[in-house]
Homo-oligomer: A and B are copies of this chain.
Amino acid sequence: MNKEVEIISWFASQSRLSPGDYPIGIGDDMAQIQLADGTSVLITTDMLLEGTHFDLAQATIEQVGYKAMAVNLSDCAAMATLPIGAVCSVGLPRRFGTDELRQLHKGVTGAADRYNCPLIGGDITRWSADAPALAMSISMLSRPVNCRPLRRSGAKPGDVICVTGALGGSSKGRHLTFVPRIAEALAITQLAHVDAMIDISDGLSTDLNHICRLSGVGARVEAKLVPVSPDASKTPDPLSAALNDGEDFELLFTLAPTEWETLRKGWRLTTPLTYVGVMTGDRSVVLVSADGSEAELVPAGYDHLSQ
């Protein structure tokens, strides 16, 4: 188990939430609070750190603002929920003045306008020391549509495993400009009953293992079916890039084969949906290579807490 999974599992084990008031707690893409009969709200939070999540030598400040919103919007998509508002807190390096703050704001509000999720509040602070770098945290609210929020834990043996788009090589630039799959999530859940969903932030290998662990099932992924992005194709090991790079922010979901047929036939969006394997009844997560050999699909994506 990676370090991040370990500590988050521990946090979740410390949590005592009443399921009536908090249908979804720690450990999914968003938490859910029931406010009244039939009315609930979901919340997620993501922090971006200069050096870890972006490099200001390669990204513009506006792109950083966009990415901070987009990673949260991707969480809303992962639950098949509709974003309704965001708050943003920033820790500014001393070198940042009003101009840099406005560029950051432009990136945030650009995403807010594009995905109809307004910036409704925030907190602006500044490091007192010279050394520290830009830290940015956005929290986002959403509400359910079409169906109950989709969880990581609902996958069933026999389910088809699908992904949107193509995977790998996001660090070449796509991690700053990706389109969060909100429209896709809503279209998918309008057409079919989905059992489990997650967005691929840490890499297919890691995120599929999350679904398996939380659903108590296994998976078999066919290597030859994994959609490899053009960016990943240019790397020495395209399949490994597609499986492990992370920050794809594509959707990974599972559904019954009959639902997959309905979805496939009804699909009208240009974003591809790709069948990559099936969920199984045992606990093993297996990669079937093109030559038919099998190996454990090790969660080799990004571990935020590894040293």
Known contacts: A7-B124, A91-B135. The answer to whether A141 contacts B33 by CB under 8 A is yes
| A101 partner residues in chain B, CB cutoff 8 A | 7
A186 within 8 A of B: no
Chain B residues within 8 Å of A208, by CB:
none
State in angstroms the CA–CA spacing of A124 and B3 once bound together: 11
List which A114-169 residues lie within 8 A (CB) of chain B: 118-129, 131-133, 135, 137, 139, 141, 143
Q: How large is the interface on A (under 10, 10 to 19, 20 to 34, 35 or more residues)?
A: 35 or more
Given contacts A41-B141, A47-B90, A126-B304, 13 further A-B contacts (CB under 8 A): A25-B118, A25-B121, A26-B121, A46-B123, A47-B135, A49-B125, A49-B126, A49-B127, A51-B132, A124-B305, A126-B305, A131-B132, A141-B141
B36 touching A89, Cβ below 8 Å: no
Question: Which 3 A-B residue pairings sit nearest by Cβ, starting from the closest?
Answer: A139-B139, A137-B137, A47-B89
- 20 interchain pairs (CB within 8 A)? A3-B98, A7-B98, A11-B105, A11-B119, A11-B122, A16-B118, A17-B120, A25-B118, A26-B120, A36-B39, A45-B88, A45-B121, A46-B89, A46-B123, A47-B135, A49-B135, A53-B125, A131-B133, A132-B133, A132-B135
CB of A8 within 8 Å of the partner chain: yes
Given contacts A26-B120, A123-B47, contact A139 B14 (CB under 8 A): no
**A242 lies within 8 A of chain B by Cβ:** no
Residue pair B105, A14 in contact (C-beta under 8 Å): yes
Interface residue A191 (Cβ < 8 Å from any Cβ of B): no
- Residue of B at shortest CB range from A44? B121
- Compute how far the CA of A36 lies from the CA of B87 in the bound complex, rounded to whole angstroms: 20
Q: Does residue A183 face the partner (Cβ distance < 8 Å to B)?
A: no
- In the bound complex, residues from chain B placing their C-beta under 8 Å from that of A240 are none
**A267 sits at the interface (CB 8 A):** no
CB distance from A8 to the nearest CB of B (A): 7
B132 touches A22 (CB 8 A): no
A87 with B31: CB separation less than 8 A: yes
Q: Which of A17, A45, A105, A127 has the most CB of B within 10 A?
A: A45
A293 at the interface (CB under 8 A from B): no
Most buried by B among A28, A36, A132: A132
User: Restricting to A77-130, which residues have a CB under 8 Å from any CB of B?
Assistant: 84-85, 87-92, 94, 98, 101-102, 105, 109, 118-129
